Structure 1
Amino acid sequence: MKVLIAIDSFKGSISSTEGSKAISLGIKDVYHDAEIVILPLADGGEGTVEALIQATGGQSIKKEVTGPLNEKVDAVYGILGDEKTAVIEVAAACGLPLVPSNRRNPSVTTTYGVGELICDAIEKGCREFVIGLGGSATNDAGVGMLQALGFSFLDQHNEEVGLGGQELQNIRKIDVTHVHPKLKDCTFKVACDVNNPLYGPSGATYVFGPQKGATAKMVKELDKGLEHFAQVVLYELDTDVHNIVGAGAAGGLGAAFSGFLHAHLQSGIELVLDLIRMEEKIQGVDFVITGEGKLDGQTSMGKAPLGVAQLAHRHHIPVIALAGGISEETSILNKLGITSYFSIMNAPMSLEQAMDPKVTFDNLRLTTNQLFRLIQAVR
């Protein structure tokens, strides 16, 4: 019996590493000599750094950087096992959880710390970057990040503009003469699962601004700032950053990465599966187990379990999905590669109880144990 375990974290409850351990124990309870391959998983969002470090034998790096409110914060990123690839979640440096709810204001929050993480990784020898977009508290089109990398954005007095989305309307010129010299040797792969343009009704500000603390008035002003910024970039650099698919991700960081750093924006789960060499490691497997905290309509839109299932389906390998909660629309997943899915809940309990890490661990182990008892009986 050979089983590959590739689950996402059960957010707020248990990491993909710990969850995989529980599932592995459940299998071993039944098949004592089972060969088990564990690939911690993420879809480019929260948990991506940890998952890729685990999968490649990499290391985590802690670095003090400028946080979203221009105050110092400790951020963690990863250097993968090849020692040349850095993996960075932008939320580590400019994420919404770093801003108290009463101070959320995308007019002033900055992505400067993301650029500082990139600079640190460059100095440590990295030339390839995997970036997870999402969860940002910002709306500055990535200008803060670019300033940290040496790009200059000048106002009408030829002075550097300040930090935050409110400064975008003041930009008149872009100076690239002092850009980090090693940046030209770097390649960026960006996990981006939204397709919003930079500005407009479906752009960064109107869609994501309110959850970052933007008032209705602020949304209008910030959107004007993004539009103005795009026009300046088009005039100064002959680059259209507005119409890039995903430009509006993470408050416009998608535009900055693609337009200034020539990044390739792609599906998060496809990027992760490629990096952990899933296609290679799935060979000869009897079952694949995947899962996440909740299986719902969002899962079918390209989240981690679906990516795993589609790859396994191409190799005709049955896929079992485990989750804490399962919604009604999940049945579509059976048509998309998941053979069968199960909730690990086995008794009525409160959400707080259900999300207790020990309860989740025990429930994952027990459910897996029972499933493989059934498999053993019919094989």
Structure 2
Amino acid sequence: MNYLVIPDKFKGSLTANEVIKSITNGLQRVDKSSSVKSILASDGGDGFLEAVACKIMVQKIYVDTVNPLGDKLRAYYLLNKDTKTAYVELAKASGLELLKAKERSAKNTSTFGTGLLIKDAIKKGATNIYIGLGGSASTDAGMGLAAALGYSFVNEDGMLLNPIGDNLSKVFKIERNATVTILNRIKFYAVNDVDNPLFGENGAAKVYAKQKGATEKDIESLDKGLEYFNSVIKHSLLLDHSFVPGAGAAGGTAYGLKTFFNAEFISGIKFLLELAEVPKILKSNKIDYIVTGEGKIDSQTNNGKLVKGVVDLANQYNIPVVAICGKLDANEADLNVMGLNNVLEIYNPKKGVNYSINNAAKLVEDGIFNFFSASRRKTQKKVKVSNIFTKFNIF
């Protein structure tokens, strides 16, 4: 059997590389003669730089910057001097994982630190900048990033505003310094992992702000702030990108990149799968199964996440996909829309979430082993949606 393994990370428990190792171990326990190829990929969120570094000759550039709350931080981006191309991962300076649970606050955080990384890349000669979005801690519509690169946001009294989500609704005037014109020669690419608009029921605040520490009151306030901020943009810059698919990515950072820097939106999944030459692999090799996965498979998976991208690509070549996840929070109808017929879940409700997190590597390996052992015995060729525990009783 020939397998291609392309998982995302299991946030909070396993890196993508660790997931690959567990899946590979499970497959080789079934049959040591199996051919297992693996791809380190990302949907543009956490792990973006690692996926790029696997395929492109780049230099790691460390910079003194700040975290989402403005505290000092040392982070890095990647630079290819020959092509004058920089690769920046928003999560490195503006990511949720940089904050303790009690520090998380969608209304008090900013993307300013990511802007400082981009600023350094431009100083070092980069004229093409790819920004991997995902895993953000803020809902500031990219205001912080723009502030780091020469924009100023002023309230009605003429006071300079701190570029955080809570101040979106206080912006009265947008100013830019002379250096902003230099940015016209820079080509920005927002490597996007979702399709959400800026505001509204499916917007940045209402879908993602809760996981960033926002209360219900905060969410309503942020959503109104995003809508108001867009009205200021329409009035002052005569632009409205609020409902461009993906504008709501990373708390609206994608919107800010497009509005202030004319960034092109590109699919993170497509970009990285092509970078890893996955289509070429599928054309030139007989692959029996593709195995993918992520920490949680739910309705958001269908909004441009890695698993969805892998499934869509596999369908082009009629290759079956098996997905394994930490937690499955989608019904059969949802999974049918995603094109997922084989889903394995390692979460055991009798043992709790912490057990799954602490033992994820072994659980993934055992889950894969049990599924493919059963398939090999032809007792179960496909698993329609399902909890791996009830199917295989692996505990």
User: Which range moves more in the overlay, 76-85 or 119-128?
Assistant: 76-85
Matched to 2:190, the amino acid is K
Matched to 1:50, the amino acid is E
Matched to 2:198, the amino acid is P
User: What is the aligned partner in structure 2 of residue 118 from structure 1?
Assistant: 118
**1:370 paired residue among 368, 373, 386:** 373
Q: Is residue 2:196 matched to residue 1:195?
A: yes
Question: Deviation string for 1:15-46 (max 9, x for gaps)?
Answer: 22122223334444565554432112322333
User: What is the aligned partner in structure 2 of residue 128 from structure 1?
Assistant: 128
CA contact (8 A) 2:133 2:190 kept: no
User: Pairwise mapping of residues 231-242 of structure 1 onto structure 2 (< 5 A)?
Assistant: 231-242=231-242
Matched to 1:52, the amino acid is V
User: What is the aligned partner in structure 2 of residue 359 from structure 1?
Assistant: 362
TM-score by length of 1: 0.80
Question: Deviation string for 1:190-230 (max 9, x for gaps)?
Answer: 314142234x5654445544554455665565555444433
Q: 1:308/1:103 Cα in 2 relative to 1: closer, same or farther (>3 Å)?
A: closer
Between the two proteins, the alignment pairs up a number of residues equal to 375
User: Which range moves more in the overlay, 200-209 or 313-322?
Assistant: 200-209
User: What is the aligned partner in structure 1 of residue 389 from structure 2?
Assistant: none
User: Which range moves more in the overlay, 298-307 or 345-354?
Assistant: 345-354
User: Which range moves more in the overlay, 202-211 or 109-118?
Assistant: 202-211
Secondary structure in structure 1 of the residue aligned to 2:292: strand
Matched to 2:270, the amino acid is E
Matched to 2:366, the amino acid is N
Post-superposition offset of 1:92: 2.4
User: What is the aligned partner in structure 1 of residue 246 from structure 2?
Assistant: 246
Alpha-carbon distance between aligned partners in 2 of 1:61 and 1:32, rounded to the nearest angstrom: 41
Q: 1:4/1:57 Cα in 2 relative to 1: closer, same or farther (>3 Å)?
A: farther
User: What is the aligned partner in structure 1 of residue 387 from structure 2?
Assistant: none
Secondary structure in structure 2 of the residue aligned to 1:119: helix
Matched to 1:197, the amino acid is L
Q: Aligned-pair RMSD on alpha carbons?
A: 3.8
Secondary structure in structure 2 of the residue aligned to 1:309: helix
Q: 1:338/1:81 Cα in 2 relative to 1: closer, same or farther (>3 Å)?
A: farther
User: What is the aligned partner in structure 1 of residue 151 from structure 2?
Assistant: 151
Secondary structure in structure 2 of the residue aligned to 1:74: strand
TM-score by length of 2: 0.77
CA contact (8 A) 2:66 2:112 kept: yes
Alpha-carbon distance between aligned partners in 1 of 2:213 and 2:329, rounded to the nearest angstrom: 30
Q: 1:60/1:333 Cα in 2 relative to 1: closer, same or farther (>3 Å)?
A: farther
Alpha-carbon distance between aligned partners in 2 of 1:350 and 1:131, rounded to the nearest angstrom: 36
Q: Gaps (5+ residues) in structure 1?
A: none
User: What is the aligned partner in structure 1 of residue 178 from structure 2?
Assistant: 177
User: What is the aligned partner in structure 2 of residue 163 from structure 1?
Assistant: 163
Q: Gaps (5+ residues) in structure 2?
A: 382-395
User: Pairwise mapping of residues 49-128 of structure 1 onto structure 2 (< 5 A)?
Assistant: 49-56=49-56, 60-79=60-79, 84-128=84-128
Alpha-carbon distance between aligned partners in 2 of 1:107 and 1:348, rounded to the nearest angstrom: 36
Q: 1:170/1:362 Cα in 2 relative to 1: closer, same or farther (>3 Å)?
A: closer
